[in-house]
Amino acid sequence: MNIAQDRRIKPRVVCDYPVIVEGDDGDGNKYHENAKLINLSASGLYMSANRNIEIGSKLGLIILLNSELLDKDTPKLATTGIVVRSESQIDGAFGIAFKINNYRFL
Where do the structural domains in the chain lie, given as residue ranges?
13-105
Q: HSE on the CB side for 69, CA within 13 Å?
A: 1
Are 26 and 43 a contacting pair, CB within 8 Å? no
Interval 38-93: pLDDT, tens? 999 999 999 999 999 999 999 999 999 887 656 667 899 999 999 999 999 999 99
3-state helix, strand, coil in the chain (%, to 5): 0, 60, 40
pLDDT for 1: 36
CATH homologous superfamily of 13-105: Electron Transport, Fmn-binding Protein; Chain A (2.30.110.10)
Residue 35 CB neighbour total at 10 angstroms: 23
**CA–CA gap between residue 38 and residue 34 (Å, rounded):** 13
Residue 78 CB neighbour total at 10 angstroms: 15
pTM above 0.85, yes or no: yes
